[in-house]
Amino acid sequence: MVPWGKSKKFTAFLVSASIFGSMWIAPVNGSTKVQAAEQALTQENFDQIANGKLPAGWKLVEGDAKVVDGKLVLTSPSSGAPARVVIPLGNQTGNYVFEADMTFQSAVEDTRWASLMYRVQPNTYPYYQFAMRKGTTAMNGLEFAIRNESNQWVVPETNFYPENMAINKTYHIKVIASGNRVQQFIDGQLMVDTDQAGKWTNGDVGFQANGTTVQFDNVMVNTYSNALPPLANTNAFLPKEVKTNIVNPPTIISKTVVQEGASSVLLQAKRNEQGQWTVDGAPIEKALVNMKGKFIPVVQVEEHADIEGLANILKETQTQDFQILSSNPAIIKEMRGYIKTARGALLYDKSSFNKHDIAAFARNIHNSDAMVAVIPKKILSPDNVHYLHSRAISVWGIGAGDVQSAHTMIHLGVDGIVTENPSASFEALGQYPENTLVQRPVVAAHRGVPSIAPENTMASYRKAYELGADMIETDVQRTKDGQLVIMHDYTVDRTTNGKGNVKDLTLEQIRALDAGIKFKPEFQGEKVPTFKEYLNEFKDKDVVLLVEIKADGIEKQVMEEIEQSGMVDNVVIQSFNANHIRNTHSINPEVGTGYLYSAGVPSTIDARLKKAQQMMHYGASMNATLNADYGSLNPEFIQYMRQRGFLNMHWTFRNEDPFGQALEAGVVGPITDYTQWLTDAPIRLELPNKMVNLKVGKSAAIQVKTFVNYREAKTENTPTTLFVNSGETKVKIEGNTIHAIEPGKVNVFAMHTFKMLGKEWHLVSEPIEVTVSE
C-alpha cells in the first residue's frame, strides 16, 4: 500500500480509498449491495506527531513505543519484554473496522510477532488480537488469539500466509469485528474468519510487538453497523454429489447448468465494453455470491488483461475456494501472483497429443503454477491420464455430452468431467456395482521394496521396477565432502554395518559400507547408492522417481543432478520441510512437488472440513500436492481434495487392511513397502468392440482381455461376466454370452472380479452398446 503523503489533499484521497477497502459485498435477493462503514472513530498518519511522542490520549501499556519520522514504532527486544499501546475509543463500541499499514523492521526469530489488538477491556486485558509472526508461512503464522481474564493466551484459530513477512515491506492489516464474528485480512485477503469473539463485545484497540521491532502507519478505525456474512457461507463445504459405487469417481464440473450433483460450475469470465468482469453479461460478483457454499467456481479467463481487477473482485467477494482455468499459462501465473492460494488448471487447446506434447504440457502445468490438466476427450487416453497422474497432475476431461460418452470418459480414468450435460454423467455414474475400479491406482514403491530387499539400495529399486511400480520413492542427503547419496536416516547405523552421521562421513567412507548384510546375507555387498546412480538407472525407463529431500541446502544440487541426468520429466520432489518445496519450485518450476506431513483427525465433520480447507490452501500456496500419512486421512478430506483437483500421495502402507480401506475410500496414490500386493492386480479391461448388433433370437459371446502392465501393451484373456442394469428385458445374459430377446438398445457391461488386499474388487469395462432388431 502506498504511504500517505504529507499534503492534506493526498491524505483525504487515501482516507476515501481505505474506507472503500473496508466494504464488503453481501447477497441481497440474488444481487449485490455495497455497504460501508459509517463513522470514523479515529484516524492517524503520525505526520503531525513529534518524534518520541504518542498521539494525545494514546496509552503506552508496557515497553517501548513512540513516533519516529511519521511512523509509530514499537520495539520489543525479546518475548519477555513486549511493547503494547492502546488507543481509547471513548464510546466503547466493539463493532468496527480497524486497519493499519504494518512493517517489520527486525525480529529476534521467525516465531516472534506483532499484532492488532481489539475489544481491549479497561484494565488493558482481556482482549482479542490478530497476531502475525515474522515467519507467517508456518501453519500457526497467523492467529486469532485471546488474552483471557487470567492474563493468559488462548489461541482458538490459526492460519498461514503464503509468504514470510519481509523486513521493511509494508502490509495492509485489517480486522472487521461485528458481534461474535471477526474477519482478519492481510492486503485485502481474508486470512482468519471466526465466530469466537462473543465474550467481549466492545472495547478499545491497539498494537503489540513481541520480540520484534515493527512500525505502524495510516491507522483507521470506523464503526461497522452491518452484519458479517454467516460463518456457514464462508466455511469449507462439500458440494453434494450423485451416488456411485465407483472407487474414486470423477467429480463433475458443469459448463452451463447449475445443477445439484456437480461439485463445480464453470464461469466464463469476460470483460464488457466498460471493462467490467462479467459472466453471461451479468457482473461476475453476482455469480460468485450466489454460488457460495453450494458449488466451487471454476473461473475461466482467456483475455490477458486486468487480471488484478478480477483478483480484487475475488478478494472483495471473499471467494477463496476457486480454480482459475485458462489455456494461457501466463494468466494462471499472474492470478496466483495476486492470490497465492488460487488453484490453477491449464487447458490444452492443441489437436495432437503425442509423447512429446504430453511431456511439454506436464512441464507447462507445473511451470504455470497449475495442478490440473484440462483436456478434450477426443485426444485423451488411459495412458495419457496415467502419465499425468504419475507426475502429480490431476486430469479433467472435457466432453461427456451423452450417457455413452460419459461412460467412455469415466473409463479414461479422469478425475473430473467438464460437461454441458451433467445429467448424462450422473446417469452413467449410477450404473456400476459396489467396489468398482476402472483403473488401478498409481503405486509408489517406498524406498524400493523393503519388504523384499534392503531399503534404498539399487537391488530394491530394480525389484520395485520389476514388480510394476509406477513411482519409486527415495531419500537424498549430502555427505561431508558435498556428494548426494541415498539414505533415509540421518545416520548410517540402522541400515549399514557402519556408524555415524551421513553429513559427517565422506562419500568414500559411505561407499565402503555394506547396505545389504543387515537385511539378509544374500544381499551382502550392496552399496549405498549415489543420487546420480539412482537417476541414471531409470533414465529412458517408464517410471517416475519420487525424491524426498532430507537435508537443508541441497535443493539446488539435487535439481542440477536431475537436469544433468535428463530426468526432469520423470521426477517429483517431496519433503516434510515446506521451505525445501518452495526452494525447489523456484529453482526449476517445471518439476512437480509434494508436501509431506502428518496430522491428527478432528472429531467433527466441520472441523475436518476446515482442516482440509486450510491444508488445501497451504498446498496451493506452494503448488504442491498434500502427501499426508494415511493416519491423517478421513472421508471428508479425500472427497474435498478430489473435488478440487488435488492428486495426493499417501504413506506408508505396510498392512493390508488399512491399505484396502484407503483404496475403497478413494486414495489415488498409495506409497507402500509392499508393491507386490498390487503387482498382479489387473489395470483395466479391453473390449473387442463397443457396439454389437443382434437380431431377436441370436446370441453373441464376448471375450474380454485385461491390461496387466502400464509399461507394456500386454493383455491377457481373463474370466469375465456380463451384466445389465436391473429390470432390463431386451437381452438375457448367461456368463459372457448375450441373448437377444426383443428390439431396442441396451448397455451391457463386462466385469472381472478379483481379490486384492484381502478384499473383493470389480474391474468393470466401458459398456457395450447392444442393438437388437427384428
Looking at the annotation, which residues are catalytic? 446, 488
The dihedral sign for the CA sequence 99, 105, 107, 108? negative
Q: Which helix (H) or strand (E) holds 504?
A: none
Cβ contact 381:356 at 8 Å: no
Residue with cell 545389504: 516
Q: Which helix (H) or strand (E) holds 642?
A: helix 635-643
Pick from 448, 468, 469: nearest CA to 457: 448
Q: Which residues contact 446 (CB under 8 A, 6 or more apart)?
A: 473, 651, 652, 671, 672, 673
Pick from 682, 631, 627, 674: nearest CA to 655: 674
SS (H, E, C) 444-479: EECCCCCCCCCCCCHHHHHHHHHCCCCEEEEEEEEC
Grid coordinates belonging to 168: 521493511
In single-letter form, the type of residue at position 636 comes to E
Grid coordinates belonging to 628: 499426508
Cβ contact 461:486 at 8 Å: no
- φ/ψ of 375, rounded to 5, equals -135, 135
Grid coordinates belonging to 223: 464503526
80, 83, 134, 135, 684 from 77: Cα distances, Å: 8, 9, 14, 17, 64
Cα distance between residue 334 and residue 342, in whole Å: 10
The dihedral sign for the CA sequence 419, 420, 424, 430? positive
Q: How many residues does the chain have?
A: 774
Burial group, residue 351, by CB count within 10 angstroms (0-12, 13-18, 19+): exposed
The dihedral sign for the CA sequence 352, 356, 358, 362? negative
